Amino acid sequence: MGISCFIALYALLEYFEILSFYPCGFSKKRIYSFFGYQNILAQYLSIMVLWSLGILVNCSSIKTKITTISCISISLLALFFTFCRGAMVSTIIGGIFFSVYYLSIKLKTSSISPIVSLCSSKKRVIFFLCIISFMFALPVAALWGKIPIKHKKTSRHISTIISRKDNLRFTLWKDSAKMLIQEPVRGVGLGNYFIKYPLYKSGKWKWMTMYAHNELLHMVTETGIVGFCGICIFLFVIIRAILRNFLFKYTTETKLLFLAPAAGCIAALSQSMVSYNLHSSTSSVYFFIGLGIICSGKFEETKTETLFFNTLFKKILVIVPVIFISIWGMYGEYRKIIGHYYYNNALNALIEEDPQECIEYSLKAIELQPYNSKYHRLISIAYEDSDQQELAEQHYRKVLTLTPNHK
């Protein structure tokens, strides 16, 4: 919770330009923090907010509760300034699941009637629901333009979101469906979506996407009916294990402890239907850790702490891989920043009429992102200026392959 609060606070300082963290000419409209892309940051904050709710309802210390509420508030504020609507909606879905299930557990475990129990703890319930409702409703109201915002950059960005029509995802889904129809049984091949997509692209936008903005559709497009059956089996096994654990194996204390990871998984799955968050190891690692926690299910009735975390050795076995995979995932995002840095240097070299230096930087950028069409376009111009026509044509053909509507 402390690390997520630090990341959220750093992101807010970055957004309000108190800290300068805009490498390589990246847009200052959104925040990147330590993740290299605002959507990945938004998914991380979404999961951390929901996991923090578990700390809020399970701790007994007033200081811990105040600290947790403060961290959740900062994380939600940073989540809002990512302007990632999918993450906001998925956080609300996870928050609703958490609140409803938490109240149902409290009412069922009460020794007196549910109505009397609810009335006896009326102040606590109302206070808890007000905090949760305020935290989740405020960003939505702001995005709908119901709350006046005087900060110019924020109000301008919200106005843009409200005024524009987002047809991009529907176009991507339609094109992905065409790809699936062409190869319904085995799909286009694992990892081949961004290679095959230019052949089916029907949108008029100039940039090139590598994802379907729907993880289920993306996986089915690449693996076909065979992969879809595998996904269904996986979901069936996971959901069955979770239901059995929550209905028959878990104690009340364990249910309350694992409710937050379950809400985080629901939020991640909800966002994956309109985004590509699970493609980032930074986001997916927390999703699968949450699944592992709520599916473990081997506990004794008298213990409130899971056997999974009883020993220091087992804690190390969990913490070390999480840190490693998180750093590895962040490095994958930073490859984009490094590639853009090389691209900017190559562009400056071309402006200064130094095609050889432009070629050197462009090759470094292409090595990091081989399917970025603008890198190939820039190096083709540099090769043409240095009278290397064959190489110029080779890279320009890649531009045409990656962007069929390129002129």
Domain boundary among 109, 143, 164: 164
Q: Which residues of the chain have pLDDT under 70?
A: 1, 19-37, 109-167, 203-209, 282, 297-333, 402-407
**207 falls within a domain:** no
Tens digits of residue pLDDT in 295-342:
775 544 444 444 444 556 656 665 666 666 556 556 666 777 788 788
214 neighbors 271 (Cβ within 8 angstroms): no
**385 falls within a domain:** yes
Number of domains in the chain: 2
Find the CATH number of the domain harbouring 393. Answer: 1.25.40.10
Query: Which domain does 344 fall in, by range?
Result: 334-402
- Report pLDDT for 303: 47
- Report pLDDT for 405: 46
- Report pLDDT for 271: 85
Q: What is the pTM of this model?
A: 0.65
Nearest-5° angle of CA 286, CA 288, CA 291? Answer: 110
**358 falls within a domain:** yes
Nearest to 335 by CA among 287, 286, 371, 382: 371
Structure tokens at 350: 């071309």
